[in-house]
Homo-oligomer: A and B are copies of this chain.
Amino acid sequence: MLQSNQSVIRLNPADNLVIALVDLPSGTQPGGLDIATTQAIPRGHKIATRPIAAGEQVIRYGQIIGEATCDIAAGAHIHSHNLGMGPHTDDYAIGRESHALPALPPREFMGYHRADGQVGTRNYIGILTSVNCSGSVARFIAEAAEKDPVLSSMPNIDGFVPIVHNTGCGMSGVNEGYDTLMRTLKGYARNANFGGILLVGLGCEVMQVPDLVGQGRLRPDGNFRYMTIQQTGGTRATIAAGLKVLREMAEVAAQTARAPAPVSKLMIGLQCGGSDGYSGITANPALGHMSDMLVQMGGTTILSETPEIYGAEHLLTRRAVSTEVGEKLLERIKWWEDYTARNGGEMDNNPSPGNKKGGLTTILEKSLGAVAKGGTAPLVGVYKFAEPITTPGFTYMDSPGYDPCSVTGQIASGATMIIFTTGRGSVSGYKPSPCIKLATNTEMYNRLAEDMDINCGDILTNGVSIAAKGAEILEKVIAVASGQRTFSEELGFGSAEFVPWQIGAVM
């Protein structure tokens, strides 16, 4: 499609502009275009591909990024001097652009079938903690389990994962922060990538183990145990008791072997971190294409990171399948405005001077790069952080943009895999869910070759199409879901990245 010697890129057939990939002098005719630049265009900036009349919409990624504030000639530079937001952005138009995508033939992966109908991509046993004060002991139990000859000889088990965090006490027991942590811990306990969960508490913490366990079954398969260090009699007694219980739980978990499942059972968290100027051009749109394909096969994807879509929320409300779904997203946006205000900040995602220099003109254009990960499918559900996701299709889960925290929410909401685009080069893993890393540019991909699973930089350097790259990502998804290990799994990542969203005062 695109040539490796190309000097511009068109991101969507509907666009009335292209992006310069190199600094273009005035009078240049970029390959594949029948127009010449009317002035010098810096790399990363926009060039009109046809005349755009004052008041007409300017389209990038097939999406409105604003309106021409004066007539723009073909070949002219589009930027702050001739592009504004226009009045349309206040119109959330819930559902106006919610168009179901055609179904694609079903595909299968080999997964772990759970009692509640979910299918995991991994079969870990988790050692979950209610509070930081049981974190070290949870690690000791996991270390003992990894060394235990009985446990290490059991089939079908991927390992023993301590889920350790910084909170659980020194907090109110009745506020939003408490509820959020409660959902997060319960969500991990239920994630389909766990074949069993041992919950270890200290005993005197605010996040009480009996409250977490609740009245009903935390796990539908019943493969769940709990203990507190204070009641069990200290560190060594808890390690011994934990190891004994893990052997019983592992017996059960080892009964489950991988078996065919439709990809409609996959739930994938979409992430970006360490973004660069290529994120919105290469990896994010390719991931968006994969998201559409998975949705077309009945699967579920999760977009998150509310501060990064702020200002472009109407793009998502227009895709909402119902008024309720659209309004829940707007309610979350309002919540964030209050959250940042009460913490002395603000939701300010306006293009910075650096962004503008790089070629981003409007807040819409900036947020579009992040939203591109979510493809074009209808928005079927909006969820709070760590709320269980129950609607198959393209969904939104509210979260900070901070990567480990956002991923923690997605896994608590049910994600059994994460796909993470990065331009600067993030290295991280999120047990129990494998994480596929997509590099946005070839230079970083080559530099961090042992950390990046797929290079999306070849969209620019080799002219690979967004659609072809999306299909390549889908094949990787199916392979990894069926047991192929990602680079971050091979390297052993995942012992530090459980980061519950801490909301409220530390007391």
Contacts and interface: CB of A to CB of B under 8 A. Distances in A.
Given A307-B507, A345-B175, A448-B234, A404 B132 contact: yes
Contact of A344 (B135, B175, B307, B402): B175
Q: How many copies does the complex hold?
A: 2
Interface size class of A (residues with CB under 8 A): 35 or more
Contact of A235 (B138, B402, B451): B451
A202 interface: yes
Contacts of A507: 307, 340, 345, 400-402
Interface stretch (A248-256, A292-300, A492-500): A492-500
A426 interface: yes
Contacts of A202: 274, 424, 426-427
A144 to B, nearest CB: 11
Given A448-B234, A505-B345, A166 B404 contact: yes
Nearest to A408: B166
A506 B424 contact: no
A133 B404 contact: yes
Interface of A: 132-133, 135-140, 164-166, 169-172, 175, 202-204, 229-230, 233-236, 273-274, 307, 339-340, 342-345, 400-405, 424-429, 447-451, 491-497, 499, 501-507
30 contacts: A132-B497, A133-B404, A133-B427, A135-B496, A135-B497, A136-B429, A136-B493, A136-B495, A136-B497, A138-B496, A140-B491, A166-B166, A166-B405, A166-B499, A166-B502, A169-B403, A170-B403, A202-B424, A202-B427, A204-B274, A230-B274, A233-B448, A235-B451, A235-B491, A235-B493, A343-B505, A345-B507, A502-B502, A502-B506, A503-B506
